[in-house]
Amino acid sequence: MLKAYRTEIRPSDEQAVMIHKTIGTCRYVYNLYLQKNKEAYKADSSFLSGYDFSKWLNNEHARREEFAWIKEVPSKAVKQAIMNAETAYKKFFKKLASFPCFKRKSDYGSFYLIGTIHVKRHLIQLPKLGKVRLKEKGYIPSAGVRSATVSREGDRYFVSVLVEEQEACKKKSGPSEGIGIDMGIKMFLYTSDGEHVANVSRSNQLAKLTKSLKHQQRKLARRVKGSANFQKQKVIVQRLHRRIRNIKTDLKRKTVLKIVKKNPQFITIEHLHVKGMMKNRTLSNAFQQIGIGYFTDWLKVKCAECEIELRRVDRFYPSSQICSCCGERKKMLLHVRTYDCEHCGMSLDRDWNASINLKNAKDYTVLV
Ligand SMILES: [Zn+2]
């Protein structure tokens, strides 16, 4: 099974220059292939294959002194850029798509590498670039790396590697019972075994970052578009956006992992009618902050990987109105945070009670 790992790298100045150069060359070659095909198409409706283009590029074009720089970057990256261009152009040639876009110069770009790639805890060794420091140590497995894609996002650099892995999750002990997950606004989620995770937007760190983002965005709006100061400010805003996104994503992934690691027999989630909720303005803001869609998607991925059955109850299942102890049912208004059962005397946090009901639900759809 192939698995992708993406993480930030810290290239040296020299390596950063090489990364920029490679991205630039790949863009040039990609565009040149499209240009050549455009000319061939106009002349006699013929098709120039990636293979023929590659031969011409290496044996004629790049031999000329003014284009010698093409040979200075990793050849695999150039080859892949040609292949990408060919794939895009073929779609047009077969009339499946419109003419592909020429790539424009920007702060973003990437290239693909294959060949000798070694990973150690703190560094990754890549063709032509050499040893590049990894920001997150020990994240990428050291064995089985097949290929790597290096990308640039403004002033930051990332590597995404494909790793051949043996079975991802070994069943250690026998599976425990199922888990129900209630997702809400106050608490991001509550599980039937009593775990709860607070909503990230309530964390101090994130509140500070969001405030700072607003401030920096206002500053950006005052800058003259395209000026050097504008560019500098843009990088600051981009960086803040990314930090906020990363914190949120990280929390969701960690939460999913924590639940999956318990190796439950099944996991039951609610059917959240997200689109309907978005119409309700106070609720919608809270839900966008939480990003329940992303959480559910990631949960699906991990459940599939670990062979855990993922269930989703019916949209109208009244998980918050039932007493998880005796089964009595009563109306629960949104602001009432504790479920107090008049019938059996149970008193439990509203969301916790709901998550137990979800676990016990009998009507559900199996998602994974
Ligand atoms: Zn009761």
- Which is more confident, 119 or 272? 119
Give me the DSSP letters along 306-363. HT-EEEEE-TT--TTTB-TTT--B----TT--EEE-TTT--EEEHHHHHHHHHHH-S-
pLDDT digits (tens, 9 = 90+) for 76-94: 999 999 999 999 999 888 8
pLDDT digits (tens, 9 = 90+) for 327-346: 899 988 878 889 999 988 88
Residue 322 CA to ligand 1 center (angstroms) comes to: 8
Residues forming beta bridges with residue 8, ordered by sequence position: 158
Mean pLDDT on 211-225? 93
- The rounded distance, in Å, linking the Cα atoms of 365 and 368 is 9
Nearest to 125 by CA among 139, 113, 108, 110: 113
Mean pLDDT on 308-332? 89
- The rounded distance, in Å, linking the Cα atoms of 85 and 24 is 15
Residues forming beta bridges with residue 36, ordered by sequence position: none
In the block, which residue shows the tokens 């906020």? 244
For residue 141, name the pLDDT band (cuts at 50, 70, 90). Answer: confident
Strand locations in 195-301, DSSP E? 196-198, 266-269
Residue 327 CA to ligand 1 center (angstroms) comes to: 6
pLDDT at 233: 94
Mean pLDDT on 35-51? 92
Mean pLDDT on 138-155? 88
pLDDT at 50: 94
Mean pLDDT on 16-38? 95
User: With pLDDT > 70 as the criterion, what percentage of the chain qualifies?
Assistant: 90
Output Rg (C-alpha) for the chain, integer angstroms: 26
40-54, 171-185, 296-310: range with lowest mean pLDDT: 171-185
User: With pLDDT > 90 as the criterion, what percentage of the chain qualifies?
Assistant: 47
pLDDT exceeds cutoff 80 at 135: yes
Mean pLDDT on 240-255? 86
8 A C-beta contact, residue 114 and residue 147? yes
pLDDT at 246: 86
- The rounded distance, in Å, linking the Cα atoms of 242 and 210 is 11
Phi and psi torsions of 339, nearest 5° = -90, 115
Residue 346 CA to ligand 1 center (angstroms) comes to: 6
In the block, which residue shows the tokens 């703190």? 122
- The rounded distance, in Å, linking the Cα atoms of 295 and 288 is 12
pLDDT digits (tens, 9 = 90+) for 248-279: 888 888 889 989 988 899 999 987 765 555 55
Residue 315 CA to ligand 1 center (angstroms) comes to: 23
pLDDT at 273: 61
pLDDT exceeds cutoff 70 at 299: yes
In b/e form, how buried is each residue of 20-48, taking b as 16+ CB within 10 angstroms? eebbbbbbbbbbbbbebbeeebeeeeeeb
Residue 321 CA to ligand 1 center (angstroms) comes to: 11
Average pLDDT, the chain: 87
Residue 242 CA to ligand 1 center (angstroms) comes to: 46
pLDDT at 346: 87
The tally of CA atoms less than 13 A away on the side-chain side of residue 259 is 34
Question: Residue 11 to residues 8, 107, 129, 156: CA-CA distances in angstroms?
Answer: 10, 16, 9, 9
pLDDT at 172: 47
pLDDT at 40: 92
Residue 351 CA to ligand 1 center (angstroms) comes to: 15
- The rounded distance, in Å, linking the Cα atoms of 237 and 10 is 20
pLDDT at 309: 93
pLDDT at 23: 96
How many angstroms separate the first and last alpha carbons of the chain? Answer: 18
- The rounded distance, in Å, linking the Cα atoms of 56 and 61 is 6
Residue 347 CA to ligand 1 center (angstroms) comes to: 8
pLDDT exceeds cutoff 80 at 297: yes
Residue 199 CA to ligand 1 center (angstroms) comes to: 28
Identify residue 148 by its one-letter amino acid code.
A
Mean pLDDT on 133-140? 87
